[in-house]
Amino acid sequence: MNQPQDKSRRSFVGTAAIAGAGLGTLALAPGLQLIQVSEANTPTAGASSKVRWGMLIDTTKCASGCDACVKACATENGINETVKDPRQGSQWIRKIDLKNPKTGQEHSLPMLCQHCANPPCVDVCPTGASMKRADGIVLVDRHICIGCRYCMLACPYKARSLVHMPLTEQNPEVPRGQGCVESCTFCVQRVDKGLKPACIEACPEGAMLFGDLNDPNSAIAQRVAKEKTTQVRGDLQLNLGVRYQGI
Partner 1 sequence: MQTELNNRLEGQSFYNVAGFGALISLLGLGAALYMEHNGHHVTGMNNQVFWGLPHVFAIFLIVAASGVLNVASIGTVFGKKVYKPRGPLSGLLAITMLAAGLFVIMLDLGRADRLVIAMTHVNWTSVFGWNMVLYPVFFGLVGLYIWMLMERKMYAYSKTVGVAAFIWRLVMTTGTGSIFGFVVARQAYHSAVIAPMFIIMSFAWGLAVFLIVQRMMFGWNNLELNEQIRRRMNNLLGTFIAAVLYFVVVYHLTNIYYAKQLEFEQFILLNGGVFPKLFWGGFVVLGTILPLLLLYVPSFQRIQGSGIIASVLTIIGGLCFLYVFIIGGQAYPLDMFPGMEVKSSFFDGHIDNYVPSMPEILLSIGGFGVALTITVIAVRVLPFLPQDDIAKLQASGALHD
Decide: is 85 part of the binding site for partner 1 (CB under 8 A): yes
Of the candidates 69, 200, 45, 201, which has an alpha carbon nearest to the alpha carbon of residue 135? Answer: 45
Least Å distance, CB 103 to partner 1, is 10
Decide: is 127 part of the binding site for partner 1 (CB under 8 A): yes
Other residues' Cβ atoms within 10 Å of the Cβ of residue 68:
18
Residue 169: what residue type? Answer: E
Least Å distance, CB 240 to partner 1, is 12
Other residues' Cβ atoms within 10 Å of the Cβ of residue 110:
25
For 138, the enclosing helix (H) or strand (E) is: strand 138-140
Decide: is 91 part of the binding site for partner 1 (CB under 8 A): yes
Identify residues 47-76 at the interface with partner 1 (CB under 8 A): 67, 70
Identify residues 11-50 at the interface with partner 1 (CB under 8 A): none
Find the binder of partner 1 among 116, 181, 198, 209 (CB under 8 A): 181
How many residues in the shown chain lie near partner 1 by CB under 8 A? 60
188-218 burial, b at 16+ Cβ within 10 Å, e below that, comes to bbbbbeeebbbbbbbbeeebbbbbbbbeeeb
Find the binder of partner 1 among 30, 65, 166, 194 (CB under 8 A): 166
Find the binder of partner 1 among 164, 201, 215, 223 (CB under 8 A): 164
Least Å distance, CB 194 to partner 1, is 31
Decide: is 128 part of the binding site for partner 1 (CB under 8 A): yes
Q: Which residues face 182 on adjacent strands?
A: 161
Find the binder of partner 1 among 97, 205, 219, 225 (CB under 8 A): 97
Find the binder of partner 1 among 90, 185, 229, 245 (CB under 8 A): 90
Nearer to partner 1, 39 or 97 (CB): 97
- Cα 132 to Cα 108, 118, 122, 168: the distances in Å are 28, 9, 7, 27
- Please tell me what DSSP assigns to residue 231: -
- Interacting residues of 136 by C-beta distance below 8 A, sequence separation 6+: 51, 52, 53, 54, 115, 117, 213, 241
Residue numbers of the site for partner 1 (CB under 8 A)? 67, 70, 83-91, 94-102, 111, 120, 122-129, 144-150, 152-158, 160-166, 177-181, 232-233, 236, 247
